[in-house]
Amino acid sequence: MVSMKDIAAACGVSVATVSKALNDQSDIGGETKEKVRRTAKELGYHPNSSARALKTHRTYNLGVLYKEESGSGLTHDYFSGILETFRNTAENSGYDITFLSNSKKRKDQMSYLEHTIYRGMDGVLIAVADYRDPEVVELLSSELPVVTVDYVYHGRISVMSDNIAGMEALLSYIYGQGHREIAYIYGEESMVTTNRLSAYYRFYEKKGLAVREEFLQRAKYRDSYTAGVLTSQLLEQEHPPGCIMYADDFSAIGGMNVIRNKGLRIPEDISIVGYDGITMASQLEPQLTTYRQDTVGIGSLAAEKLISLIENPRATPISQYVMRGKLITGGSVAKIT
């Protein structure tokens, strides 16, 4: 087995220099780093993970808790985008990723925290979870470095999409197109939903408009069927809305199908908007007006903050980081003159 001593001899440098070069430390010049890395590759050097763990007291293994209830799994565009960027950023820093499973699916009945200890994880990203679950609370209350996505927990770093700014951007655009009767089919109870609903009420208050409570309907995220049923009910009201907002683009597609089955046109007869900015939304006819969330920024920042917590905990502030997205104006909102 090739060692750092072999690389040092081949390069004519010290073992300490080889170690620093392979770990990308700043006090080693770029030319030396390149020479050491090239030589290590040519000699077939592979770092010993056990020795590395003993020396650094870290396993370079990050846990990911992703318990998504809609059944979409890793096909969920929003979270898959976040997790893919999180994985790439972590791997570029030398970390591996392991998904956590809870006791209900494990024969050994280990909780989330027990699983992290068993696997020797250095830290955990909580991407999606039921924060009322005692196992999740136990994990959040532990001394393990944890970063949450779209959820604020006291004493933990959180990275969030700016759902308030997203709703305000969509509502301002719809309002600017002349609409005043705006319905909203929102998602199940969560911090994301609470923030979006608050933004809706606040927008109407700022504009001096009365909220029609019958225009606010609850479904699940990415539930195109229920969104379609609720769309039908909204359109059958005596005074139907002129525009319907959906919790996500998949729900908007469900509404779009119902609207067309009723013989109505988008946006001439009814306007609609989605949320998330998935690729499919740009391929619809008309193109869906939506709000694209910054999944790349969220995933990358979550990885950076979690690794910083692990490697430099005293100098890493516990803060909430909010990432803004971008309004995508398609052709699904009519201009009322």
Whether 86 and 303 have beta carbons less than 8 Å apart is answered as yes
Euclidean distance between CA atoms 320 and 195, whole angstroms: 15
Q: Cβ atoms within 10 A of the Cβ of 120, count? A: 13
Euclidean distance between CA atoms 123 and 236, whole angstroms: 51
Q: Give the residue-averaged pLDDT of 266-293.
A: 94
Q: Do the domain assignments include residue 19?
A: yes
pTM of the full structure: 0.80
My answer on whether 272 and 218 are in the same domain is: yes
pLDDT at 282 > cutoff 60: yes
Residues 216-225 have pLDDT tens digits of 999 999 999 9
Q: Do the domain assignments include residue 337?
A: no
My answer on whether 174 and 270 are in the same domain is: yes
If one compares 70 and 114, the residue with the highest pLDDT of the two is: 114
Q: How confident is the model at residue 207 (pLDDT cuts 50, 70, 90)?
A: very high
Q: Do the domain assignments include residue 27?
A: yes
Q: Cβ atoms within 10 A of the Cβ of 57, count? A: 7
My answer on whether 167 and 289 are in the same domain is: yes
My answer on whether 115 and 209 are in the same domain is: no
My answer on whether 11 and 101 are in the same domain is: no
Whether 276 and 291 have beta carbons less than 8 Å apart is answered as yes
Q: Do the domain assignments include residue 189?
A: yes
- Mean of the per-residue pLDDT values for the chain? 91
Q: Do the domain assignments include residue 52?
A: no
My answer on whether 85 and 192 are in the same domain is: no
CB within 8 A of 275, min separation 6: which ones? 166, 170, 245, 246, 247, 248, 249, 252, 290, 291, 293
My answer on whether 220 and 173 are in the same domain is: yes
My answer on whether 103 and 216 are in the same domain is: no
Poorest-confidence range of 9-23, 167-181, 264-278, 294-308? 9-23
My answer on whether 156 and 168 are in the same domain is: no
Q: Provide the number of structural domains found in the chain.
A: 3
pLDDT reported for residue 198: 98
Whether 315 and 275 have beta carbons less than 8 Å apart is answered as no
Q: How confident is the model at residue 329 (pLDDT cuts 50, 70, 90)?
A: very high
Q: Do the domain assignments include residue 214?
A: yes
Euclidean distance between CA atoms 107 and 119, whole angstroms: 15
Euclidean distance between CA atoms 326 and 21, whole angstroms: 40
pLDDT at 54 > cutoff 50: no
Q: Give the residue-averaged pLDDT of 163-171.
A: 97
My answer on whether 12 and 70 are in the same domain is: no
CATH number of the domain bearing residue 40: 1.10.260.40
pLDDT at 270 > cutoff 90: yes
CATH number of the domain bearing residue 96: 3.40.50.2300
Q: Do the domain assignments include residue 250?
A: yes
Closest C-alpha among 215, 282, 232, 227 to residue 254: 227
Handedness of CA 257, 260, 262, 267 (dihedral sign): positive
My answer on whether 280 and 169 are in the same domain is: yes
**What is the domain extent for residue 17?**
4-47
pLDDT at 202 > cutoff 90: yes
pLDDT at 57 > cutoff 90: no
Q: Do the domain assignments include residue 327?
A: no
My answer on whether 305 and 286 are in the same domain is: no
Distances (CA, A) of 129 to 102, 136, 194, 274, 308: 11, 7, 16, 24, 23
Euclidean distance between CA atoms 166 and 16, whole angstroms: 50
